[in-house]
Structure 1
Amino acid sequence: MMEMASAAALMRDLRRGVRAPVQVRRADRERYATDFGGLHACTPRIVVHAADEAEVSLVLRLARAADIPVAVRGSGHSFAGNALSPGILLCTTGGAPRWSLRGDGVVQVDAGARWGDWIPALHARGRTLPALSGLASATAGGTIATGGFGSGSPRAGAVTDHVRRLRLVTPDGAARWCSPDESAELFRFVCAGQGRLGVVTTAEFSTVTRPSIYRLRVQPLREAEELRNVAAWLASRGDDVPEFFFAEVGSAGGRAAFGTPVQTQAGSVLPAATLPSSGEMAILPPDALADFRPPREPVGVMSALRHVWCDYCLPLATADAFLAEVADGVRSGSLAAGLARIYLLYLGAPGAAVAAYDPRGGAEPGPRIGVGVYHTLPASDPAAVEHARWLHRGLLERCIALGGRPYLAGAHEIDPALESRIYGHDARRLAQLRAALDPDGLFGPSL
């Protein structure tokens, strides 16, 4: 416990060094007591909004000097308590997003910028990221921490595949550039590593010309069993997968959408990928394909719902076995209670330098079928919430047995032993890096 004199000195230094008001009133702090999932609760002692890298660095140095825990929060759209802290909660969002597009097509952006606050302006310049998160309220830094997949991932892979370099502030407050060529090991663990080595303050991404017209085929889906046929068709295509794909099934049915760009902003025709032979065909502008999904309620305030949302990433050869078990669970009723939807993505193969915790990694890196199983349940029924969490623990074990990995953005419950089993040497190396950068264990949560 901090002595009163030390606490007073910490507050004085924070207020001197940070432009935004430091929040200590209980009513203000309780707004940050949980995340979107609502499965964990922890009211921070102090909430600080950092406007730039200098303020991030200051807060981390002061937290270390005061021996007080600190965690980082972007939009709070997490499920496993990653954005919660009993000490200082360092928030990186707020204000107008700062970004710039260079002549070489590289865009630099504040990592605390939400995608929906600046991507439309980038699109207006005729450029886009090859892969985008499907969540407009997520921040660039939060997406880097998880990998970032969306409907454009069949060909483009993860958002992190297109990070040229990033600016990292480590728990001691020191800042450095990281890339495949500079502080390469840190870069490998920061991308898709759940932000456990520091705070990303700036990121640079490759961009591409934004298509102006898409050819889209949409197939209606009636039940979860039909997702197996969709996944099998994708797995059979080899490199000839559509540029755009997602599928989802809920209690009222669903759809699978396959798309390919056919024209650029300049009017040139693009070679088109093969699309399925059945379903409704349409020609659409890219804005009609946007799958940005903002949170359904304010993030932070305890809501009446609990979201047990987990994503599983399976090799193409074993995805059908996993989907068969999910479909059987829906049909038998064991998975049905509170099941909001099942979501399917195709995750294109990673590049040569695979991030340590990338869900497409492992013994045989390659493309994956991403399967999202999303339960939303009333907070008033804790037994049902716990049952859903138990079901997902079983699904995770089955995913691992089939050679898959979890996508760490979800509500997965992974203790150190399970983390070591999934990630092997990389888990041990990450623990060593964390111990070196944060010897007192004050920064951020574990998985």
Structure 2
Amino acid sequence: MFPISSRAGGTFVSRVALGAALALGVAGGMALSGSVAFAKDAKEAKPEPPKLSKPFTALAGPLQADIAKVKDQAGAAALKDRVTAALAAATTPDDKFFGGQFAIQIGQTAKDSALMRTGLETVIGSGKMTGPDLGKYNYFLGGMAFDAKDYAAARTAFANAIANGYTENDVQALLAETYFATNENPKGMELLSTAIAARKAAGALPPKEWFIRGLSVAYKAKDYGSAFAFGAGLVEGYPSADNWADAIGLARTAGRFQAQETLDLMRLMDRTGSFRDTSDYAEYLQAADARRAPAEVLKILDEGVKSGKLAPSDVFVSENRNIAQARLAGDKASLPALEKDASVASAPVATVMAAGDAFLSYDQWAKAEGFYQAALGKAGVDADRALTRLGIAQFGQGKFAEAQATFAKVNGTRKPIAQLWAVYAGQKAKGG
């Protein structure tokens, strides 16, 4: 297993600064008799004055003067009832806009989240705000609703923020969180995947936390296919050894592979240097089989011992080493005859594949490539296995673009294995 949960973190809502109403540009010095600048076209010479009702003006005029004098929490708290009364008197859109601004400002200073939220809802509902500012206000409203565990309201607010062009502060991921919070995981993962795809389409790298969050949710829900998709995206964007170990571990969990499939996946784990512990080495060694690939087994044993994750005195290690050493000379001696037999045009596919596998295990990439290419032209070939190993042989020669193209042709059970190899080949093609 692998420590998915320990790396997943929580939600993204902690990024929503509920005290950040200052960033909204609220009404500190906004005069009720002045112009409503946010709603006007810059080309207008004489902006239309706000249309305020008399009942609201009677309350709001003196209130605005007193708000301007507020310096601390106690002073703001003393004005809360008057702000509430002004909100109750607000009838016109401009009334609601200014009244909502008062509520945001006093709510912020008085540390009254409920009043701040009411202010945001009132400003948004006034209809006097459009575009980026409307998106920003909806974003903050969503954060406050989420903290209050009002996930339906948070969902609506975040969706409105996005619809009005707001893209900052991981708002797309926050929208997904509103579904995770109510155990609607498939919809949350769909939204998170959509957000990731949109970032990529825009030429930007999605945040690492988005992949980890999706991976964690999917893994806990035992949706291993989705977990693998997030894991593959994680290593594509953030190719650390730890992330590679997670992605490969997910593929193993989701795929329930047989020995030959596992072998090609563990070969990738070796390439990416992402072995975590003894069990990873043990799985590789069992899949490779010291009787069939003695040179490869000895190489992995030596790497494991050098890394400190395998102990030379361990019975499993010593037994595999003894078997591989006993087989090595004879195996090497058999290669010329196998190569000759497999090179005959009429050679059966099993012989050709065996030759490719043998030379691959000795890191003789060019010869292996040739035999896999030949095998693909023969009846009865396991095309996905041959293509996977053809891609590995091409990768070994530094033919990274060719390897990517080959891995893209793999389907069936081996497709996740090939997808991860293709990601790694792409990174190497870019000098990674």
Q: Same fold (TM over 0.5)?
A: no
Scaled by the length of structure 1, the TM-score of the pair is: 0.23
Structure of higher RCO (CA pairs closer than 8 Å, 6+ residues apart): 1
Q: Which has the higher strand share?
A: 1
Instruction: Flag the structure with larger Rg.
Output: 2
